[in-house]
Amino acid sequence: MLRPHPACLPPEEFLREVETERTRGSGPGGQHRNRTETFLRVRHLPTGFTAQAGERRSQHQNLQKALWRLRLNLALNYRRPHLEGQWEHPLEYRPSPLWTARLRGGRIACRREHRDFPALLAEALDLLHVYRDDLERTGEALRVTRSQLVRFLAIEPRALAALNERRKARGQKPLRA
């Protein structure tokens, strides 16, 4: 059985793979910020990816924000190497229950701020990697159109920018949402 992408792990399991460092923040915020350790840096131990948050006065809110940013960093930058050659034909792929639950008439419905967004983005980017950025095959595997896939990627500008960089290297035109 394939191990899920780290961005897709349930919260309890994800937390077991994360190391948290608390420090005092700097900058505006007055006495509270200078006296309490509300700035948080998190690191995913298996991959080494990190994220941080310190813009809130609450350590709990900063932890939630840092964990969400870490999931997003993992979705954007970590590809599961054992996926190569898994699904020769896109219809062999079964989208995750999370992806399927978010499909609405051939569109993927999820805002960037939603807790599920990093997991959905990781699934789409993993498949783009498997199909070597072939948008038609990836869309077919995910049960969305090419244009809907591009619109979904554009929700996170870094995802679309990375895809456009790879397209540029192959002499292809950039995509727009």
pLDDT, position 35: 53
| pLDDT, tens only, 1-11 | 578 899 999 99
pLDDT, position 27: 52
88 and 157, same domain (yes or no): yes
pLDDT, position 23: 83
pLDDT, position 30: 52
124 and 106, same domain (yes or no): yes
- What is the value of pTM for the model shown? 0.88
Cβ-defined contacts of 136-143 (< 8 Å, 24+): 137/90, 138/90, 140/90, 140/91, 141/87, 141/90, 141/91, 141/93, 141/95, 142/93, 142/95, 142/99, 142/108, 143/95, 143/100, 143/103, 143/106
60 and 130, same domain (yes or no): no
Final residue of a domain: which of 77, 106, 138? 77
What letter would DSSP give residue 5? P
Final residue of a domain: which of 77, 98, 131? 77
Q: Which residue range(s) make up the domain with 142?
A: 81-169
Q: Residue 25 sits in a domain of what CATH number?
A: 3.30.160.20
Final residue of a domain: which of 57, 77, 97? 77
The four Cα atoms 8, 85, 101, 133 give a dihedral, to 10 degrees, of 90
What letter would DSSP give residue 123? H
90 and 140, same domain (yes or no): yes
How many domains does the structure of the chain reveal? 2
88 and 146, same domain (yes or no): yes
pLDDT, position 57: 82
The segments of the chain whose pLDDT lies below 70 read 1, 25-37, 82-88
